[in-house]
Amino acid sequence: MNSTLTPPKSKLWWNEPVEKSELIWISIVFVWGLVMSFMMPYWHVTGNQNLSNETYKTTPERFMSKAQSFVDEYTVRNEGPRNYPVVKPPPGGDVYMVARLWDFWPIVELEKDQTYRFHLSSMDWQHGFSLQPANINIQVLPKYEHVFTLTPNSAGEYSVICNEYCGIGHHMMIGKILVVE
Do the bridges between strand 127-132 and strand 156-161 make them parallel or antiparallel, or are there none, so unpaired? antiparallel
Is 36 found in the same domain as 69?
Answer: no
- Do the domain assignments include residue 96? yes
Rounded-to-integer distance, Cα 108 and Cα 86, Å:
6
Residue 87 CB coordination number (10 Å): 23
Length of the chain: 181
Residue 174's contacts (CB-CB under 8 Å, 6 or more residues apart) are 103, 104, 159, 160, 161, 162
Splitting the chain (181 residues) into consecutive groups of 10 residues, what average pLDDT does each group show? 65 78 93 94 75 87 97 94 93 95 94 95 94 86 93 93 92 94 89
How many domains does one find in the chain? 2
Q: What is the pLDDT of residue 21?
A: 87
Q: What is the pLDDT of residue 1?
A: 55
Q: What is the pLDDT of residue 110?
A: 96
- Do the domain assignments include residue 9? no
Kindly provide the residue ranges of all beta strands, DSSP E only, lying in 123-173, ordered along the sequence.
127-132, 136-140, 144-150, 156-161
Is 87 found in the same domain as 158?
Answer: yes
- Do the domain assignments include residue 5? no
Is 79 found in the same domain as 25?
Answer: no
User: Residue 135's domain is classified under what CATH number?
Assistant: 2.60.40.420
Rounded-to-integer distance, Cα 150 and Cα 129, Å:
13
Q: What is the pLDDT of residue 8?
A: 66
- Do the domain assignments include residue 7? no
Is 116 found in the same domain as 69?
Answer: yes
Q: Give the three-state DSSP class for 145.
A: strand
Is 146 found in the same domain as 85?
Answer: yes
**Whole domain around residue 117: which residue ranges?**
54-180
Do the bridges between strand 103-105 and strand 94-100 make them parallel or antiparallel, or are there none, so unpaired? antiparallel
The torsion angles phi and psi of 51, rounded to 5 degrees, stand at: -80, 140
Q: What is the pLDDT of residue 179?
A: 96
Is 157 found in the same domain as 107?
Answer: yes
Is 117 found in the same domain as 95?
Answer: yes
Q: Give the three-state DSSP class for 86.
A: strand
Q: What is the pLDDT of residue 137?
A: 87
Is 138 found in the same domain as 81?
Answer: yes
